[in-house]
Amino acid sequence: MILREVQVKNPRPPRIPIRRIAVIGAGVSGLVSARTLQDQEFSVTVFEKSHGPGGRTATRRADPGLSFDHGAQYFTARETHFKAFVEEGVRQGIVAEWTGLIVQIDGKKVESKTEHPVRYVGVPAMTAIATHLADELTIHRETRIVELTRVENGWELTDTNGHTYRDYDYVIVSLPAPQTTLLLGDHVLAQEVSAISMTPCWAVLAAFERRIDVLWDGAFIHGSPLAWVARNSSKPGRNPAIDCWVLHASSDWSCANPEHTREAVAVELLSAFAQTVPLSLPPTIHIDAHRWLHSATPMSLDRLALFDPNSGIAVCGDWLAGGRVEGAFRSGFAAAENILRQAGILSNDSIKER
């Protein structure tokens, strides 16, 4: 998939020493920055604390053959370069439009959304985008980086097992703002990042014995512990034979119930769902809950990416660019652009606020 054609100073630039890049975090922003730099012949290594890439473009699978997009539910495409990325994904069959009916619910009042943006999803799951971006990248999975050290030859990274990875010219940190602050320590960018707070989100993953009899497939909910519910099985590429739903709690409810067990969260949010429908829900064949510790931010620096040319540290993430998958894409590309510009590969006028 083409991320974007970068505008180089010279179609045949002079050969430069290979620069080594460490990218911490394999969400969309980290993967986009890694792919962009690797396409320009940088040596890139990605470090990811989880067993797979994707961040909040996540899919949980469960027996028997169930799947739930329990993080990002869909994405829209407004900016020119992200539109091109999405259109290429559609052509390759890893992105498709989700045409399910989306409504908003306030008490007993159900209304169709007045705005109808084209909503896209990864196919056959939201993880498809990250899987494609991660192709041909060197990724150290289940490796949590806990310390960055500036040394004579560049940067050293240390993981939770005490293993050290050496000699990186640049480091891109693609983590939620609170985790980025901790990792940066006393770095000059830490103070700016520390001003950003992020809220949690509880998600419930439920599959039912039979289809819930509502005409809509997704709903924004007001005046409830729930903020959003979606019939995951209505998305293209999913199994429509089993009615699978994802329920997202509101930020207020998630913040007020941080220590609930997954079982308690599932019971309370399923009850809220039944009141919202309102119907007697069929028995569940699968029920689980997941807590996203850093889900959304009430504010944004609106900077796309942060970069310190003196140390070679860049910071990216959707929280820098208004949230959402598109924000993550734009932020990751902006981080890579800053490095390419300092390396003399991009022309001076190729980096613009988009």
Q: What domains can you pick out in the chain, each with its CATH number?
A: 1-58+126-197+306-354 (3.50.50.60), 73-78+97-124+199-296 (3.90.660.10)
pLDDT for 112 equals 87
The side-by-side arrangement of strands in the sheet containing 43-47 is 138-140, 43-47, 20-24, 170-173, 313-316, 305-308
3-state secondary structure of 37: helix
pLDDT for 143 equals 98
pTM strictly above 0.85: yes
pLDDT for 299 equals 67
pLDDT for 155 equals 97
* Burial class of residue 209 in the structure, from the number of CB atoms within 10 Å of its CB (0-12 exposed, 13-18 middle, 19+ buried): exposed
CA distance 124 to 2: 20
pLDDT for 348 equals 52
pLDDT for 352 equals 39
Residues of the chain with pLDDT under 70: 1-17, 114, 299-302, 347-354
Tokens of 39: 């396409």
Closest CA to 44 of 130, 142, 137: 137
**Taking the CB of residue 344, how many other CB atoms lie within 10 A of it?**
14
Contact 274, 283 (CB under 8 A): no
CA distance 223 to 132: 38
